[in-house]
Structure 1
């Protein structure tokens, strides 16, 4: 089953390549390199300026493709292409807080009038999980998969103590912790079913980090 690997790659990715339809050269793709933060359901978020070339392209055609990959682009490493619709989103307090935890510089752009947050609504995704391991995942997976709400995530973060680390985000499969200058992804031993299970899994992670 590819879905867990798809979500794991999205949640540990900090950058993505965004391909839009060029407005100045119709028929040609325009590719940009942007920081990204996943939302609570594992949909990529990007912050873009109204002045950017890719923004002008998106305003004419919101159909895009993004590429996410592990830092080491060896052939045996995972990479994911998502085809979908990029749409603006007005972040509420909880979503803005998630952006700020993962990327304070991005969050600071919210105070600038020409920047806005856009969310990718996946239609289909192609995962290359390694040599000979590949397949398609349908966009419906994002809508039907169980996920924590932003409110549940905020409660878990407030109630958790991770030693010297800072808990940035948590989901049913794992958590992201800032240790020094590095953000590290920690996968749980098993995927949790609810917030109670996540709370227990976080205790094991915290114990392992402080051991």
Structure 2
């Protein structure tokens, strides 16, 4: 199961109604080190090719957990939003779904291998590694990325249709109001989705699932 956090707004409700998620261009992310070529190449051709590669990618970010307090704070409107649980083995086992690797230092890449592995528009595991490396401080996210091809380099991203029935669970933030919870329940009333409430634990710094 993979999880994605949302604020409660028109865009997130549209995702539920249409069974689709938004994938953003990496240059739109909040981490200035995300998806940049951290290797100092003297070869300008490599830099140019990689920049073109990134401009034609769209990424949607998921997590392996649904109860991380920081994730709820940062990505679900300070716990006023919700989180969806997606169960789709076909998607999880595909080459477009890749786990993020965390480290203290930049990724080491062999210059020749990096240059000759270039495949604009294709799945390139060597170049894809750059799109899935992040600084160690981000590892609490336990991130998994869906990496898509973006045909229009001027677009900020694209929508991705989830397989039918992929959304299995909805988790409501501990600060979400009942009106918004009911709105989501109505949208998904005909789907076999299980709803959960996140509650602040009375004994520990954690979230309980009810």
| TM-score, with structure 2 as normaliser | 0.27
Which protein, 1 or 2, shows the higher relative CO under an 8 Å CA cutoff with sep ≥ 6? 2
Q: If you compute each CA radius of gyration, which structure gives the higher value, 1 or 2?
A: 2
| TM-score, with structure 1 as normaliser | 0.27
